[in-house]
Amino acid sequence: MSGLAGIVAGETSISAAGGAHNLEYCGYSIYDLAEHCIFEEIAYLLLHKSLPNKTQLGEFCEELKSRRDLPVPLREVLERIPKTAHPMDVLRTGVSFLGNIELESETHDQYEITKRLLGAFPALLVYWWTHAHTGKKISCESDSETIAEHFLTLLHQQKSSDLHVKAMNVSLILYAEHEFNASTFTARTITSTLSDFYSAVCGAIGALRGPLHGGANEAAMELISRVDNVDDARDMVKGMLSRKELIMGFGHRVYTEADPRNRVIKEWSKRLCTEGGKPALYDVSETIENIMWEEKKLFPNLDFYSASTYHMMEVPTPLFTPIFVMSRITGWAAHIFEQRENNKLIRPSAIYTGPEKLDFIRLEDR
């Protein structure tokens, strides 16, 4: 199989990735959105197909803030999950459990569930992480105005700098949506069977968990952490390439010359590493980027510089991919909505390559 590369699987009005569009959400350039917006504006845009005015944004933010707390039964479930669990599995379990106690219905419809998950994801993740590693039960709410600030506040149990909050907002915006990627297509496939919203999101989380999709940022951080100077970085990467080892965080199925999101996150990585007193971390990352282009003509995707950006915000590496979920729930939801609007069962065909017309052998003769 070619992984369906180059195959058009449907139409969407949510985002355009690659080609002349570069990357746009509902017609807006990712560069404009990342520079001027907070993540909540992008969430509203993807869910409603238009940017909010000040009143609409204020109301939307208040709705999300009111949905941050976790019900006691869910907290009890999280407390039982061991610290050895993968955080993506924790999110998948949390969404599945919510689907049991907050069922999709006419009064708790797909829009309400989306707002609920947007509001609750930071606490769902950090409540488990803190309890599993310290035994403490933290509050699931904060006075933070945005999801980016709320997540960092819960994680560090103190107010983060404006710089870090802005960087997290930008990261959430860049990860929010990306057309028919593996997790989104999974969500649409599940939705096409007329399954419920929670099942589609659980499936999407499962697809995102893999290192060839969302998990690449964790692998990138592991790679960058092996060395502390550009000379060692150069030797390491060239050695890996000579041994034909896979280096994560480079290349993309949609883009051929560059990932437009990388231009934005790379600048934030440089800024945070410089102002955070770890310029060598950025230098190592850039050295790896240069060698990968010189040797393999592979460019960094969004995941590669997201690793050092998150690291400088003191986000534990195992939480990198779950941040992706906190953001991409907006894109997943938008695609679930769109699939439901004009639904047809997604059921592709396959070319059979196995044996044919074999003579049947009875059990006693096998």
281 neighbors 224 (Cβ within 8 angstroms): yes
Instruction: Identify residue 108 by its one-letter amino acid code.
Output: H
Is 86 tagged catalytic? Answer: no
**Is 214 within 8 Å of 183 (Cβ atoms)?**
yes
What number of residues does the chain have? 366
Catalytic residue among 252, 259, 311, 335, which? 252
CA angle 135, 137, 143 (to 5 degrees): 140
Residue spans of beta strands (DSSP E) within 120-245: none
Burial letters for 133-153: b for 16+ Cβ neighbours within 10 Å, e otherwise? Answer: eeeeebebbbebebbbbbbbb
Q: Integer distance in angstroms from the first to the last C-alpha of the chain?
A: 33
**Residue 274: Cβ within 10 Å count:** 13
Q: Which of 259, 303, 311, 335 is catalytic?
A: 303
Q: Is 303 a catalytic residue?
A: yes
Q: Could you tell me the two tokens for 62?
A: 């208040």
* Alpha carbons within 13 A on the beta-carbon side of 220: 31
Q: Identify the three-state secondary structure at position 300.
A: strand
Exactly one of 21, 196, 213, 283 is catalytic; which is it? 213
Alpha helices in 142-278 (DSSP H): 147-156, 162-175, 182-192, 197-208, 216-224, 230-242, 260-275
Any idea which residue has 């639904």 for tokens? 343
156 catalytic residue (yes or no): no
Which residue in 335, 31, 321 sits closest to 170, CA to CA? Answer: 31
**Contact indicator for 276, 167 with CB cutoff of 8 Å:** no
Catalytic positions, written as ranges: 213, 252, 303
